[in-house]
A and B are shown apart, each in its own frame.
Chain A
Amino acid sequence: MPNSASYADLIDDRPQDGIFRIHRSIYNDPSILEAEYRNIFERGWLFLCHEAIIPKPGDYFTTHMGRQPVFVIRKEDGKIAAYPNACGHRGSLLLKPRSGNTKSITCPYHGFCFDPEGRCVSAPKRATGWPAELALTQFDLQPIARVDSYRGFVFGSLTLDVPSLTEHLGGATALMDIFVAPAPQPLEIVSGYSIYETACNWKVMHENGPDAYHAPVVHNNFAAAIAHREKRAGASGFRKTDTGRLTARIASASYDLGNGHTAFWQERPAPEAFPIWGQREALSRRFTPGQLAWMTERGRHVTVFPNLLMNDLASTHLRVYRPLGVDRMETIIWCIAPVGEPAEARAARLRKFEDFFLPSGMATPDDVAIAEAAQQASWAHASPWSVLSRGLHSCHEGPDDAARELGFVPQLSSDSWDHEVAIRGVYRRWLDMMVREPGRANA
C-alpha cells in the first residue's frame, strides 16, 4: 500500500451512489496483514475454542491469537483461563497441539513447572546457581487479558479495553442460542477434526462463508453428485441429502449483525432430512412457531468477526480461521452435535458433514480452489476493485419479520441470502478496527 493511501481508500463505501467496492491489495499487501495482526487479531475478541473440547479440569487446547501461541485450560475450579503457550523462563512452547489433559505443565526445555493457575511452582536445581531466594513468581504465566464464554463458545482478547463478550456478540447471540440444538441441551464436539491450509488471504475465505451468491455456481456439481448417488442407491430419513438450496428458488434472508458479524438463512426444501427434525415435537412445546421454524426449517449460517464460522446448512459445523501469511491461512473444522443423540441421527449428521465439508469433501475443495484462484487474481492491479454492491438498494435498517421472530436486531437486513449485505458489514468493521490503530491518522 502506498504510504499516502489510507485504509479508508481501500473500502469504497458510497451507498448513496450505489457503490461498495474493496481494493484487492487488502489481500496481498504484507503491511496490511501486519496491521491486521496488531489491530484485529491481537486486540479484540477472538474465538478460541468450544468448552466441549475441555470439559474436565486439566483439559487444554492449544491455539493462536494472531501470531501468538496460546493455550486454553479448564482449571480445578471449573473456570476457563488462557495463557501464552510460552514458558515464563526461556519461552519454549509449553503444550503441544492440540488437546489433552494435564495436572501440571512442565516446560520441555529446562523443566520449569506450572499449575493450571499459571503459577510457576518449581524450577530444577532451584537451590543452586540462582540468587539466594529465587522468586518463582517472576516466571508465572501472564493470563490472557480477557477470557469469557457464551453458550460454550470460548473467546479471548489480548487487550483489556474491550466491551463485554455479549455486547461484542450482539445479535449473534440469538443465533448461537439455537445453533445445533437450543439450551439446555448440551453440545459436544464430535471426535475427529481437520486442519487445512489454503493459499489465500484469510479475508478471501472469510468472505466465502457469508457469500451465498456463489453456491449454485460453485456447488452445482455437489447437487449432481448427490443426485446420482440417491438415484442409484436410494436414501431415506436423515440419510437423504437436501440439495434444494443449490438448485431451487427458496425463501431466504441475510443480515449485517453489527461488529462485523453476519448471518443468513435459507428455507429448507427438505427439512425432514436433518436430524433436528426428530426433535420437532419436543421443541414445539417450548418454543413459538416462529422460533421452531428457525430451528427446524431453515438452514443457518453465522460468522463472528474475525475468525469464527458456524453453520448448519449441509451439517452442523464450526470453523476457526487464522492467517499464516498474507497469502496463506489455516482452517480448523469440527462437527458439533447434541450430546446423546440417537446413533442413526449422529451417523447421518456425520455423513452429511463428510459429503460437503473437509478438504476431502465434495464442496469445500471447490471453495478452497476458488479462494486460491481469487488470491492469484488479486495481483491483477490493472483491475483492482471487487464489487460488493449486490442488494445495496434493497437492504434496510433493523430487523425483518424473521429476525423479530427470533428476537435479534441486525444493523441491516436483506431479503435474499445471496445479497452482499453481510460482507459489506464485515468490511465496515474491518475498516473500523484498522483505522483505530494508534498513531495512524483516520482517513
Chain B
Amino acid sequence: MLDAQLQAEVADFLYREARLLDQQRWKEWLDLYAEDAVFWVPAPRMSGGYTDDPELELNYIYILGRAGLEARIVRIETNSSMASTPPPRTCHLVTGVTIENATATEIRAAASWQVVSFSEQRGQQLRSGSYDYLLRRAGSSFLIARKKIVLVEHVIDGYFDVYAV
C-alpha cells in the first residue's frame, strides 16, 4: 500500500527522530528503536564506494541492538568524553523521504540528510548523506528496526557520533 498517507506518516516519523536528536531528548530518541535494532554507518573502501557486508567488513558504526545505542548515550552522560561534552548542537535537515517498499508489518524508506553541527571545540561542521530505514509498524506508529546511514565524504574532518549524522 504505497499511498500518500503512509508517505506522510513515515516522513513525520523521520522528522520526529531528527527533532529529538536536535533537542537532545536522548531517552525519547532511543524509544524509537526496536530492542533488536541495527544502526549501521558503512566505511569507505580504498578502491571506492562503501563496505556492504557489515558483519565481515569494517564500518564506521555497526551497532547490533538498542543496548549498543544506549551505550553511546551513556558515554555522553558521563560528562567525561572530551568529544561529546557538551554534545554539539545539531540541526538535521531530512528531505526526499521515499517509501521503497511496504508490507503489512514493515516499511523500507529512503531519505537524504544534512546535519549542521556546532561545538566550541570544532566550530561549525556540515555533513550529509543518505538514510535507508527499515521501519516496523508498532500500533499507530513505527519502531526503527534498521537505520543505514551513508556519508558523502570519504575523509572525516574531526569526528562524529550517532547524533550528528
Residues of A within 8 A of B (CB): 53, 61, 98-100, 190-199, 218, 220-222, 224-226, 228-229, 232-233, 330, 334-335, 343, 346-347, 350-351, 353-354, 358-360, 362, 364-366, 368-370, 372-373
Contacts and interface: CB of A to CB of B under 8 A. Distances in A.
A442 to B, nearest CB: 39
A335 B43 CA distance: 12
B80 A221 contact: yes
Q: A-B pairs with the 5 shortest C-beta distances?
A: A192-B58, A365-B159, A365-B83, A233-B67, A232-B67
A372 B122 contact: yes
Contacts of B62: 350-351, 354
A195 B154 CA distance: 7
B45 interface: yes
B43 A193 contact: yes
B70 A196 contact: no
B34 to A, nearest CB: 13
A74 to B, nearest CB: 15
B44 A225 contact: no
B103 interface: no
Contact of A193 (B45, B53, B74, B160): B45
Interface in B46-64: 46-47, 51, 53, 55-62, 64
Interface SS, A side: helix
B82 interface: yes
B159 A195 contact: no
Given A192-B59, A350-B58, A224 B51 contact: no
Contacts of A61: 46
B72 interface: yes
B24 to A, nearest CB: 17
A368 B70 CA distance: 22
Contact of A197 (B60, B70, B157): B157
Contact of B44 (A190, A193, A362): A193
Contact of A196 (B65, B75, B83, B159): B159
Given A193-B58, A221-B80, A350-B56, A368 B158 contact: yes
Contacts of A334: 58
Given A221-B75, A365-B83, A196 B158 contact: yes
Contacts of B154: 195
Contacts of B44: 192-195
Contacts of A222: 75
Contacts of B80: 220-221
Interface in B64-79: 64-65, 67-68, 70-72, 74-75, 78
B7 interface: no
Nearest to B74: A228
Contact of B43 (A99, A358, A365): A358
B64 to A, nearest CB: 8
A191 B83 CA distance: 27
A225 B78 CA distance: 9
A354 B158 contact: no
A333 to B, nearest CB: 9
B88 to A, nearest CB: 11
Given A196-B156, A343-B56, 4 more contacts: A191-B51, A191-B58, A360-B161, A373-B82
B79 to A, nearest CB: 8
Interface string B147-159: 0000000111111
Contacts of B51: 191-192
A194 B46 CA distance: 9
Nearest to A372: B121
A409 B103 CA distance: 66
B58 A335 contact: yes
Nearest to A358: B60
Interface string B10-51: 000000000000000000000000000000011111110001
A192 B42 contact: yes
B159 A360 contact: yes
B161 to A, nearest CB: 7
A362 B157 CA distance: 16
A117 to B, nearest CB: 23
A216 B165 CA distance: 28
Contacts of A225: 71-72, 74-75, 78
Nearest to A333: B58
A99 B47 contact: yes
A192 B78 contact: no
Interface in B124-165: 154-161
17 contacts: A99-B47, A196-B159, A197-B157, A198-B158, A226-B71, A233-B67, A334-B58, A343-B56, A347-B55, A354-B58, A362-B72, A364-B159, A366-B81, A366-B82, A368-B159, A369-B121, A372-B121
A347 B56 contact: yes
A359 B160 contact: yes
Contacts of B72: 225, 362
